[in-house]
Structure 1
Amino acid sequence: MSVRNRRPLFASAALVVGAGLALTACGPENSDTAGAPPAPAATSAATSASAAPSAAASGGPAASTPTAGGGASQTATRPAKTPPAANPSGATRPGGGEAGTDARPCDIEHLTVQATARAGTASQWVIEVRNTGTGVCSLSSTPGVDLGNSTARDRSGNVKPVLAAGTLRFPVAAGHSAYVVIDLDPSGATTGTTPGIDEINVLVDDDGTNMPLANTRNFPLPKGAHVLNPQMGVYRSTVAEAVASMTSAGK
């Protein structure tokens, strides 16, 4: 076999190997960008900006969008809620009424109290409590009332009236009055009555907590007043209503 026939084969092999090395040098393993993470999506900022109005429209917290300096600017705020209007305590009509029983208790310093004989009757008396304060206040449904002798040391025998039904406190508007009517002798009897009764004792708020007994007011009765099974109504805004309440006592 001739030596000349082998030279071209070696030359061809050298060319193939050289070309392979050249291709390997140009591959991705030697590239400066090989294995680098993908660049951030160009639409991220736009997506955040477009989400801000949607959050505000749905009533969520204030949304922010990027500014040129890299900070954030407020683009939407939740509208402030308006608190409900207060529902003040008080009477539903000028003189009072049971609907306003959440009114604060009356202070004796802002009340005037009087008891007078009711005109045209033999034994009925009207107790009037006037609110001289600047706001509505409330009284117990009935005052604490008893009938006794002004000179007696022992008041345990004082006569208490039969009361009409009443459970709610009674509000009295500023500058208005509450009325109670008591009948000392509903039967009109002139015999068998309790002797020695000469005064009406009135504690205008008788729920046992808001007004001490020291605030009791005493009103003289005429000499020889007849007292037998007295009855009394609850606080009302007018004398006529107080009379109607009194007649229902004990029924």
Structure 2
Amino acid sequence: MSLAGKVFLITGASKGIGRATVERVAADGGSVVINYLSDSKAADELVSQIGPDRALAVQADVSKLPDIERLVAGAVEKFGKIDVVIPNAGVMGMHTLSKTTEADFDRHFNLNVKGPLFLVQRAVPHMPANADARVIFVSTGLNTSTNVLGAHLLYCATKGAVDQMVRTLSKDPELAAKGITVNAVAPGPTATDLFYQGKTEAVLDVLKRQSPFNRFATPEEIAGVVAFLAGKESGWMSGQVVRVNGANMV
């Protein structure tokens, strides 16, 4: 698959699925704007790995509109356009109803919903028409899973909103007029530092056994599906939330 000539803007791109996606699309020939919040070392390592002619690291808190505007401006200044927007940055706190605070709510919705919406809004004017431009959101397998917990309240609420953005933005005539497709990837349990955080070996073993393959996804496996959605071969796919879960969250 060739992504040569395409410019990707990926948020939360210094680690986990975001980092794997950066590495995959760069390997396929794409140029990448690597957004990070605090891990400048990891972002700079990616730029060195890919090369400064095809990679740019930009610090930004993508829950805040001024930072989103600065991020988009930096991408356009460096590469002149944006072909693929991947709002990957997100937060997954564990809060039951009785323990949920207004600050928890705002943190989740600002980063997981407001940020992606306004990132896409600000990026679309810089996305070329009729050039296989893409918006690729990151949802979750929990939205269709019977394994959801009460403590997933805020996370699932925000990712439910993401799913609805996929559905409605795929019908947006302004995006369609430019040939921009809108999809999402919905990973199941994936072996990232964030996923492992706070889980005992016993809990991880239970989660692993919920897949018939008795393992978790790798970030690279999720990145491969994202790369497919970014490529020419997916040109007639739009409005889809693609579950990538090894039959785990069903």
Task: With the length of structure 2 as denominator, give the TM-score of the two structures.
Answer: 0.24
Structure number, greater radius of gyration: 1
Greater percentage in strand: 1
Task: With the length of structure 1 as denominator, give the TM-score of the two structures.
Answer: 0.24
Greater percentage in helix: 2
Which gives a bigger RCO, structure 1 or 2 (Cα 8 Å, sep 6+)? 2
